[in-house]
Structure 1
């Protein structure tokens, strides 16, 4: 899936079950045939999945998902 990166939010907190949540939310826009204009989506990235080096806002990224819909790789497009 090709997306344009529009926001990055580091996450590090303890949820109500006492679990530590660590990772990064990225906010992206992309074309969707069911949306006029661009569709916006937030994706959670686990710490072991790093953004490519030198990634900045407005870069175009290629996001790959596994069969469960979880991000498994991110590269610059």
Structure 2
């Protein structure tokens, strides 16, 4: 029998990365192409907030969703 555990890991991100992950989320929600520069998308991917899916496309990871939830709560915006 396997046991699932919830592990809290602090993630340190810059203000620019905060803006970028929130902007990427916004563009995903309205089905537009993203406008976050490629180098900054790679930065988000290195943190594990997004992952490449091929052909210059990305998706938000579970870690990214958790970070977005915390950021939106800090901004008092509903996710």
TM-score (norm 2): 0.23
Structure number having the greater helix percentage = 2
Structure number having the greater strand percentage = 1
Which protein, 1 or 2, shows the higher relative CO under an 8 Å CA cutoff with sep ≥ 6? 1
TM-score (norm 1): 0.23
